[in-house]
Amino acid sequence: GQNIDQPTEMTATEGAIVQINCTYQTSGFNGLFWYQQHAGEAPTFLSYNVLDGLEEKGRFSSFLSRSKGYSYLLLKELQMKDSASYLCAVRDPYGGATNKLIFGTGTLLAVQP
Amino acid sequence: DGGITQSPKYLFRKEGQNVTLSCEQNLNHDAMYWYRQDPGQGLRLIYYSQIVNDFQKGDIAEGYSVSREKKESFPLTVTSAQKNPTAFYLCASSIRGGISYNEQFFGPGTRLTVL
């Protein structure tokens, strides 16, 4: 079976740095995505990792270790608008030519003043 | 502006009634997807379609049906056989093919409440 684990909730302070972890157990690997979702809205794409290492995009970075089945999303200089759910998803290794994703339950981040 | 539209934003139905949720995209994407989101459970795949006139069941297809008669449209019908239909429904689309960067783009969602 395929399984993705993320913490349910996290709290951080405005201006600080927060790291959201994601571990996955899948029979193969073909890419990992991070999405941001504000309450009641559509998820929006943040990052994609398929090779080991760090991908940086402004205040957001994502890291992948395929040997450990582990990824994290790093958010720097936190702003109040970063309060949202962060969804980790892996491409279904049995998806073949499809682009099916398997999602974790998401991590609800609350940024406090 | 390219994007995905879902209508309506909020939908109320009586128990036992079928209801159809609309999803339209003008991104020229071949692949489209329907997800259900419940509190604490993340996104679960209901149906997906890789090409017009073809679609496959996802992980929780029971009580749902879809059609894909046009590339731009992928409506989802929630039937009376779905035991717990109250949820937030998200439609997505992507370029076909499980390679590289092909992220899914999501619509704004429809919140269905069955009374």
**C-alpha span between B97 and A28 (Å, rounded):** 17
**CB-based contact (8 Å) between A44 and chain B?**
yes
Tell me if B42 and A100 make a contact (CB, 8 A cut-off): no
**C-alpha span between A85 and B17 (Å, rounded):** 32
**C-alpha span between A37 and A89 (Å, rounded):** 13
Peptide bond into B75 cis (omega under 30): no
pLDDT digits (tens, 9 = 90+) for B86-96: 999 999 999 87
Q: What does the pLDDT average to over A89-105?
A: 84
pLDDT digits (tens, 9 = 90+) for A9-48: 999 999 999 999 999 998 888 899 999 999 989 999 999 9
Per-residue confidence (pLDDT) for residue A66, from 0 to 100: 95
Q: State what percent of residues in chain B have pLDDT above 70.
A: 95
CB B63 within 8 A of CB B79: yes
- For an interface test with A, the pick among B103, B112, B113 (most A C-beta atoms closer than 10 Å) comes out as B103
**C-alpha span between A48 and A30 (Å, rounded):** 11
**C-alpha span between B1 and A92 (Å, rounded):** 30
Per-residue confidence (pLDDT) for residue A107, from 0 to 100: 97
Q: Which residue of A has its CA nearest to B37?
A: A105
pLDDT at B24 over 70: yes
Chain A residues in contact with B94 by the CB 8 A cut-off are 99
- For residue B70, the distance in angstroms to the closest alpha carbon of chain A comes to 19
